[in-house]
């Protein structure tokens, strides 16, 4: 009976799902005919379902990358084939089988969500089709031993460690109160943050909230008694907003921090007034519509805006990078799934969101966490967690 | 800082809402021997009626005595909406079954169905239409911020805030008024008579249908008042808001002695306090476990609850 607002469900799923299947491919000329050869790359996610709002920027960004590449008149063009899974695992599996057998994709970007990724992963593995996800952050996805699975976004463990470090160094907190929502997303994340801030020399105390309830007063009372410098909440924005409201009304003024599940304007709205103002939200994703993070980010943000008449949104930069992995593979002459897979194993370039280089388990190496600062109802980028100052 | 006073104040403030909601369960049970599972949605309707009033008048930053006035307006709106909905619910979902002499189990299933129907009706149709939000966002929470929180006085080292105080006092006033109504008026006597022995009360000239309608109207109105107090306290609602509260209120009714009006008050307050004390002692993640453990223990030694079933007994 758990109620999960669609947006939150999406984020949770995103975490896991962002496996992008890379190209499976029969390379080749079978595609658009003519004397130019073509490689088919699939992209899978929820394009028409209730979470489409989050997945469409992913598709747009990938399309942008592919169009830019095809516009250079290369020897081998790339055809991007969308597969609308509506985030339903059974549908995603059927689509993936179709993509492999009929469309002969050489790789896949996606699926966008964790649930579908967990189901589609084995199918791609068996067919030996490489995938690169832009948005799946669920940590256990990397533990399946899949060789053909990759993601260009860091998982929740990296996110938690990055935010934890930011709390002790960037914010400079000595006493941190850590709250989780008991979910499979929030609880492990809060635990990782707790470990990181304790390693950074801060003392911690914590509590859990019940997401079905409205009254967080016992948690507020505990936080007040502890008198922390910073509060971290592992959970989604709907409860995050209510929690900030009740903390502020209860007289707790410590800096509020949270992670990607709370990276939504709904956080400030739920908190009411200016209660959420100045709260700091971490995310392994780069959302930078103003292009302040660097030249590549600026170029991408401008191109995206020009093409789709909308600012870049969550996971767009990552999707652009995921598509670029395949583009670089094709540029290097790889057109079969096997060759592309080999290329992905050695790829190393500076993407829009981060340095793109994969570890043996498919995780992107390194992994930057970015901090966003609640300002009114928007969430502008503050900077990289390693260097940002609130 | 000692957690005793904060937990006590918050527990009573939370328990007051449980108690008001528990009245609806307990009255309907007393008269019809039916657990009205759709009562949580009657409460939900009250929260939206309150929200609509807040939006209509554009209240914001209300504190002091003005807040008492605003809460009165919200309570009237909530009570009207919830009371009317409860009567309509009875008319559509329970009366046809009762007329045909269906078993109580059939009415129970009808209650569960009505509960799910109302939730989805609000999430998919009514909320988008009423509050002018996009259809796909009907299931998301809606906020109406209008309360200025002020500190009133201190108990121990804990400062009691205006909203928590109004919730507690408001609930007590409503409970006392209802208790007096049921024990002193003619309609109240009819309710007690029907609860005690429906057949005999018909022979004595009581119109059962009228009594049942009155019972639903009063129980619904209490849920509406609870909804207004809830909106003042939390300022946010969604289509699912009644679910957990409904379960808690039903638990409070059983704890105090289902069918017993004063039992609902005692059960609600005790449950609120147990939850808060449990959170302090064992951590918030254990609050439901502690609450239900206490419920089981109480029922082991007092199977009819703390005060026993007594709407049907002449003394209430």
Give ipTM to 2 decimals: 0.85
Is A217's CB within 8 Å of B287's CB?
no
Letter string b/e over residues A223-255, b meaning 16 or more CB atoms within 10 A of that residue's CB: bbbbebbbbbbbbbbbbbbbbbbbbbbbebebb
Q: Is A3 on the interface with B (CB under 8 A)?
A: yes
What is the C-alpha to C-alpha distance for residues A259 and A281, in angstroms, rounded to an integer? Answer: 5
pLDDT digits (tens, 9 = 90+) for A252-274: 999 999 998 898 888 998 898 89
| pLDDT of A20 over the 70 cut | no
Is A245's CB within 8 Å of B235's CB?
yes
Question: Nearest to residue A109, comparing CAs of A136, A89, A133, A91?
Answer: A133
Q: Is the dihedral of CA B244, B250, B253, B255 positive or negative?
A: negative
**pLDDT for res B311:** 55
pLDDT digits (tens, 9 = 90+) for A188-204: 999 999 999 999 999 99
Q: Is A228 on the interface with B (CB under 8 A)?
A: no
pLDDT digits (tens, 9 = 90+) for B231-281: 999 999 999 999 999 999 999 999 999 888 999 999 999 999 999 999 988
Place of tokens 């280089």: A357
pLDDT digits (tens, 9 = 90+) for A343-355: 999 999 999 999 9
| pLDDT of A294 over the 90 cut | no
Q: Is A294 on the interface with B (CB under 8 A)?
A: no
A336 DSSP assignment: S
Which range among A29-43, A85-99, A253-267, A348-362 shows the weakest confidence by mean pLDDT? A29-43
**pLDDT for res A17:** 41
Do B215 and B34 form a contact (C-beta atoms < 8 A)? no
Do A209 and A239 form a contact (C-beta atoms < 8 A)? yes
Question: Nearest to residue A19, comparing CAs of A158, A113, A107, A155?
Answer: A113
Strand A175-180 relative to strand A203-208: parallel, antiparallel, unpaired? parallel
Q: What is the pTM of this model?
A: 0.81
Enumerate the residues of chain A whose CB falls inside 8 A of the CB of residue B243.
Answer: 1, 3, 212
Mean model confidence pLDDT for chain B:
91
pLDDT-based confidence at residue A92 (cuts at 50, 70, 90) = very high
Q: Is A245 on the interface with B (CB under 8 A)?
A: yes
Considering chain A, what percentage of its residues have pLDDT values greater than 70?
A: 91
Which range among A29-33, A239-243, A259-263 shows the weakest confidence by mean pLDDT? A29-33
pLDDT digits (tens, 9 = 90+) for B196-219: 888 899 999 999 999 999 999 999
What is the C-alpha to C-alpha distance for residues A268 and A121, in angstroms, rounded to an integer? Answer: 36
**pLDDT for res A6:** 44
pLDDT-based confidence at residue A314 (cuts at 50, 70, 90) = confident
Task: Please tell me the number of Cα atoms within 13 Å of A348 on its side-chain side.
Answer: 4
Is A270's CB within 8 Å of B244's CB?
no
Nearest by CB to residue B10, choosing from A7, A217, A266, is: A217
- Backbone φ, ψ for residue A233 (5° rounding): -120, 120
Q: Is A2 on the interface with B (CB under 8 A)?
A: no
Average pLDDT over every residue of B31-43: 93
Token pair belonging to B109? 């299933």
Strand A349-350 relative to strand A23-24: parallel, antiparallel, unpaired? unpaired
Q: Is A273 on the interface with B (CB under 8 A)?
A: yes
**pLDDT for res A367:** 79
pLDDT-based confidence at residue A28 (cuts at 50, 70, 90) = very low
pLDDT-based confidence at residue B1 (cuts at 50, 70, 90) = low
| pLDDT of A1 over the 60 cut | no
Q: Which residue does chain B place closest to A182, by CA atoms?
A: B285
Pick among 2.60.40.3080, 3.40.50.720, 3.40.1390.30, 3.40.50.2300: CATH of A6-154+294-356 = 3.40.50.2300
Mean model confidence pLDDT for chain A:
88
| pLDDT of B316 over the 60 cut | no
Is B234's CB within 8 Å of A215's CB?
yes
A84 DSSP assignment: E
Is B10's CB within 8 Å of A221's CB?
yes
Every domain range in chain A assigned CATH 3.40.50.2300: 6-154+294-356, 157-283+370-384
Average pLDDT over every residue of A113-122: 91
Do A260 and A12 form a contact (C-beta atoms < 8 A)? no
Q: Assign domain A157-283+370-384 to a CATH class.
A: alpha beta
Is B244's CB within 8 Å of A212's CB?
yes
Average pLDDT over every residue of A34-55: 83
pLDDT digits (tens, 9 = 90+) for B139-166: 888 888 999 888 898 887 788 999 999 9
What is the C-alpha to C-alpha distance for residues B55 and B58, in angstroms, rounded to an integer? Answer: 5
Q: Is A267 on the interface with B (CB under 8 A)?
A: no
Which range among A7-16, A337-346, B108-117, B220-229 shows the weakest confidence by mean pLDDT? A7-16
Do A367 and A357 form a contact (C-beta atoms < 8 A)? no
Enumerate the residues of chain B whose CB falls inside 8 A of the CB of residue A276.
Answer: none
Is A210's CB within 8 Å of B284's CB?
yes
Q: Is A217 on the interface with B (CB under 8 A)?
A: yes
**More confident position, B309 or A141:** A141
pLDDT-based confidence at residue A290 (cuts at 50, 70, 90) = confident
What is the C-alpha to C-alpha distance for residues A194 and A187, in angstroms, rounded to an integer? Answer: 11
What is the C-alpha to C-alpha distance for residues A180 and A325, in angstroms, rounded to an integer? Answer: 36
What is the C-alpha to C-alpha distance for residues A84 and B215, in angstroms, rounded to an integer? Answer: 52
**pLDDT for res A36:** 60
**pLDDT for res A366:** 77
The alpha carbon of residue A61 is apart from the nearest alpha carbon of chain B, in Å, by 24
Token pair belonging to A171? 């914010």
H helix intervals, chain B: 4-32, 39-57, 64-89, 95-99, 104-121, 127-131, 162-184, 186-196, 198-203, 208-234, 241-256, 261-282, 287-301
| pLDDT of B4 over the 60 cut | yes
| pLDDT of A10 over the 50 cut | no
Q: Is A75 on the interface with B (CB under 8 A)?
A: no
């Amino acid at each position: 009976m758990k109620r999960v607002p669609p947006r939150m469900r999406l984020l949770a799923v995103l975490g896991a799902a962002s496996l992008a299947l890379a190209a499976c491919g029969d390379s080749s000329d079978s595609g658009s005919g003519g004397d130019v050869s073509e490689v088919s790359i699939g992209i899978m996610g929820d394009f028409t379902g209730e979470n489409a709002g989050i997945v469409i920027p992913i598709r747009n960004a990938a399309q942008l990358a592919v169009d830019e590449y095809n516009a250079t008149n290369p020897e081998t063009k790339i055809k991007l084939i969308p597969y609308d899974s509506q985030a339903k695992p059974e549908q995603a599996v059927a689509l993936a089988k179709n993509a492999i057998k009929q469309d002969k994709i050489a790789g896949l970007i996606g699926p966008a969500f964790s649930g579908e990724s967990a189901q589609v992963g084995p199918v791609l593995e068996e067919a030996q089709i490489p995938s690169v996800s832009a948005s799946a952050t669920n940590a256990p996805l990397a533990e399946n031993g899949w060789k053909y699975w990759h993601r260009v976004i860091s998982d929740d463990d990296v996110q938690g460690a990055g935010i934890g470090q930011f709390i002790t160094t960037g914010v400079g907190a000595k006493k941190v109160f850590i709250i989780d929502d008991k979910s499979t997303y929030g609880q492990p994340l809060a635990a990782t943050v707790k470990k990181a801030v304790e390693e950074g020399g801060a003392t911690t105390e914590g509590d859990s909230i019940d997401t079905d309830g409205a009254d967080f007063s016992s948690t507020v009372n505990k936080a007040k008694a502890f008198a922390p410098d910073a509060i971290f909440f592992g959970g989604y924005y709907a409860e995050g907003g209510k929690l900030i409201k009740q903390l502020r009304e209860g007289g707790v003024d410590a800096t509020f921090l949270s992670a990607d599940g709370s990276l939504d304007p709904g956080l400030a709205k739920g908190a009411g007034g200016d209660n959420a103002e100045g709260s700091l939200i971490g995310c392994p994703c780069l959302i930078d519509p103003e292009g302040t993070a660097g030249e590549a980010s600026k170029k991408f943000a401008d191109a995206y805006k020009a093409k789709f008449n909308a600012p870049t949104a969550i996971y767009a930069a990552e999707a652009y990078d995921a598509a670029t992995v395949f583009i670089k593979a094709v540029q290097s002459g790889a057109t079969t799934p096997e060759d592309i897979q080999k290329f992905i194993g050695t790829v190393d370039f500076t993407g829009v969101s981060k340095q793109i280089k994969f570890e043996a388990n498919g995780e992107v190496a390194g992994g930057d966490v970015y901090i966003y600062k609640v300002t009114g109802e928007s969430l502008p980028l503050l900077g990289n967690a390693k260097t940002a100052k609130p | 800082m000692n957690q005793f006073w904060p937990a006590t104040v918050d527990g009573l403030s939370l328990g007051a809402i449980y108690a008001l909601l528990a009245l609806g369960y307990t009255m309907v049970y007393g008269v019809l021997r039916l657990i009205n599972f759709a009562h949580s949605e009657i409460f939900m309707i009250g929260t939206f009626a309150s929200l609509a009033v807040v939006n209509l008048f554009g209240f914001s930053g209300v504190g002091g005595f003005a807040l008492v006035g605003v809460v009165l307006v919200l309570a009237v709106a909530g009570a009207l909406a919830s009371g009317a909905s409860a009567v309509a619910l009875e008319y559509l979902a329970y009366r046809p079954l009762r007329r045909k002499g269906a078993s109580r189990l059939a009415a129970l299933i009808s209650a569960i169905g009505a509960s799910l129907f109302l939730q989805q009706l609000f999430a998919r149709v009514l909320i988008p239409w009423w509050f002018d939000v996009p259809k796909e966002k009907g299931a998301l929470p809606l906020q109406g911020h209008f309360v200025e929180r002020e500190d009133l006085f201190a108990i121990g080292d804990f400062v009691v805030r205006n909203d928590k105080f109004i919730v507690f006092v408001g609930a007590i006033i409503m409970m006392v008024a209802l208790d007096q109504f049921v024990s002193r008026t003619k309609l109240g006597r009819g309710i007690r008579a029907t609860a005690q022995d429906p057949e005999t009360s018909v022979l004595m000239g009581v119109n059962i249908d009228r009594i049942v309608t009155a019972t639903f109207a009063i129980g619904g109105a209490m849920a509406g008042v609870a909804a207004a107090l809830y909106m003042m306290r939390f300022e946010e609602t969604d289509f699912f808001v009644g679910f957990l509260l409904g379960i808690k209120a039903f638990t409070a009714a059983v704890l105090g002695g289902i069918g017993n009006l004063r039992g609902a008050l005692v059960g609600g307050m005790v449950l609120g306090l147990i939850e808060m004390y449990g959170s302090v002692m064992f951590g918030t993640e254990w609050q439901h476990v502690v609450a239900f453990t206490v419920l089981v223990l109480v029922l082991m030694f007092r199977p009819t609850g703390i005060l026993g079933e007594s709407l049907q007994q002449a003394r209430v």
